[in-house]
Structure 1
């Protein structure tokens, strides 16, 4: 029975990308290129153009523009993710090769147990995220249709933007076609969102896994060697183990560098627009709204908070695990070893004192401190708006 692997888990996103037109499987390249171009144009490019026009022509009323602004900036962030995935395809393939390498797979039981446990956790996360995305899509697009069929007085609204650049007569005449287009497009956009998010977070998650494995390797350098062997032979075995650890560390740094190159600009856009949306949605809750609008803003604001929190938490864990390497190396059985062994451990410890930190566009680290700072800023902004409202009322 084959053991579950990190690449098999990440492949779930790639399988979805194949149908979403951004990850060819190597067969029927010409046909797939035509399908990919048509799908991306209809679902992303045309949708973005229409949504931009709708926002531009929308009435300048905050309560009407909140939903338009929310979907506009969210789709803009998703579009950025999609095109960065297309642009960084070679780097993604390189990352898959690293995860499939013998160094990352490991041969001992402890390493395989760590991998199996983390792969199981990631699979649960992937299923939960995809399930949550489909649930939100159902609430936004499917439930209104059912309500319209069941309740005659219920007025069906378009799922996302309202085509303010079209006249009311045209919207009324082609309402079914417009709803069908948004119904189809936002499902593809939703799947783009959850699959790219799960893939990015998966790359970060498995970098933490490799750090945990390396920590375990360094701590096991003190494992007793067969006493029947001579001291020189024992030293050679210890040196071989140390070299394996150092090569593994170098591979992890290369892997993290590749991950950084992929998510560098993605995180900048996602955090920037996500922070803006959190402020907009929280401010929207201060205005008189229908219960449906309140539920929409609450659900979407929680989704935005979660979207920012997860990579921040993973970035913090990665930094923490990389810092733990110093203590793991110190806990190895280095005292009775030879001077070359001790020097190598000292050099490694000096290098490991600089932790691995994932940066968003060279501006902010992915850390819980960044998340806390964003939430504090959003709260301060909402408090400021509330104070202006109270002054206007008085």
Structure 2
């Protein structure tokens, strides 16, 4: 069972990696068009110092999260290589297929190759995960930008300028919804694959911890714990950023209400009232048109993983 769960963890990780890679290649043109629009769009240009400060703070916060994720992933790879090297018996990082009597030969070329491939695979996964999360976080920053411009409504010199500003905000929001649907096309299949299979990966990781002792195998235990932590972060990040996008879109009604609507004309107040009714539908990202991506999905994944671990423990106890 020990070798089986290790092989299954690696197999599921590779399936998720292939799903993300092939899906991004398939939607590459759509992703390039979306990024190009973000670069040249006049509506979403930062016009005030407060908007630029908000954007810079958001970018710094996102970079910190990604740097922490990269550090944990590289530490996991380092611990995996170290635990295998210090195990005391000739072994490899992963053992899908091995020739007969392979321990009698020099295993270091194969070990070196697997170490390089593991590092390469790790960084590719980090880049793909970071890109997916950046798309979601970029949309949430745009939503926050729209909210800041909503609160400035009513402070223009004339009602005509207020009407023009309100129409620009509505156009921005409509375009933001279209961008969200484009991101959903890019992220739908990878998120569905990753969220669906992640419960099994976490389950096998927790189950493998039962057979490890910190006194006998400290590096192996730390490696397994770090792998479990990285997998949890990998699932948590898209759920968090998608939930952040939904939360920011839900706050747009409050931002619009905080504008100086009392001094506006009857026409503009009527438009704001109708627009607030429209804002009751928040921006939501779906995984495979099947379920909403958010923190609730993450909690369900962890609960399902715990249930699977409990089931495996019961089966193991019955066999004994």
Q: Same fold (TM over 0.5)?
A: yes
Equivalent of residue 217 in structure 1, options 132, 137, 149: 149
CA shift in 2, pair 1:296/1:138, >3 Å: closer
SS at match of 2:95: coil
Q: Does residue 316 of structure 1 match 2:255? A: no
CA shift in 2, pair 1:347/1:174, >3 Å: farther
Q: What pairs up with 1:120-199 in 2 under 5 angstroms?
A: 120-141=60-81, 144-145=84-85, 147=86, 154-159=88-93, 161-169=94-102, 172-173=104-105, 175-199=107-131
Equivalent of residue 222 in structure 2, options 291, 295, 300: 295
CA shift in 2, pair 1:117/1:133, >3 Å: same
> Is residue 69–residue 230 contact of structure 2 (8 Å, CA) maintained in 1?
no
CA shift in 2, pair 1:128/1:261, >3 Å: same
Specify the alignment match of 1:58 in structure 2. none
Measured after TM superposition, the shift of residue 166 of structure 1 is 2.2
Specify the alignment match of 1:249 in structure 2. 173
C-alpha RMSD of matched pairs (Å): 2.2
Q: Does residue 349 of structure 1 match 2:289? A: no
SS at match of 2:89: coil
User: Gapped runs of 5+ residues in structure 1?
Assistant: 1-61, 149-153, 227-233
What per-residue deviation string (whole Å, max 9, x for no partner) do you get for residues 335-360 of structure 1? Answer: 34234323332332222111111111
SS at match of 1:103: coil
In the aligned structure 2, how far is the partner of 1:143 from the partner of 1:108? 53
In the aligned structure 2, how far is the partner of 1:144 from the partner of 1:381? 27
Q: Does residue 92 of structure 1 match 2:19? A: no
What per-residue deviation string (whole Å, max 9, x for no partner) do you get for residues 312-366 of structure 1? Answer: 1212211111011112222222334234323332332222111111111112211
Measured after TM superposition, the shift of residue 388 of structure 1 is 3.7
Equivalent of residue 19 in structure 2, options 55, 76, 80: 80
Q: What pairs up with 1:9-28 in 2 under 5 angstroms?
A: none
Specify the alignment match of 1:39 in structure 2. none
Equivalent of residue 102 in structure 1, options 36, 42, 55: 42
| Greater RCO structure (CA 8 Å; 6+ sep) | 2
In the aligned structure 2, how far is the partner of 1:324 from the partner of 1:84? 32
Specify the alignment match of 1:31 in structure 2. none
In the aligned structure 1, how far is the partner of 2:167 from the partner of 2:310? 56
Equivalent of residue 303 in structure 2, options 365, 376, 385: 376
In the aligned structure 2, how far is the partner of 1:102 from the partner of 1:136? 43
> Is residue 198–residue 235 contact of structure 2 (8 Å, CA) maintained in 1?
yes
Aligned residues: 316
Specify the alignment match of 1:11 in structure 2. none
Q: What pairs up with 1:4-43 in 2 under 5 angstroms?
A: none
In the aligned structure 2, how far is the partner of 1:134 from the partner of 1:278? 19
> Is residue 115–residue 209 contact of structure 1 (8 Å, CA) maintained in 2?
yes
CA shift in 2, pair 1:285/1:128, >3 Å: closer
In the aligned structure 1, how far is the partner of 2:316 from the partner of 2:118? 35
SS at match of 2:282: coil
Query: TM-score scaled by structure 1?
Result: 0.74
Measured after TM superposition, the shift of residue 204 of structure 1 is 1.0
Equivalent of residue 207 in structure 2, options 267, 283, 291: 283
Query: TM-score scaled by structure 2?
Result: 0.90
CA shift in 2, pair 1:143/1:298, >3 Å: closer
Measured after TM superposition, the shift of residue 74 of structure 1 is 0.6
> Is residue 136–residue 242 contact of structure 2 (8 Å, CA) maintained in 1?
yes
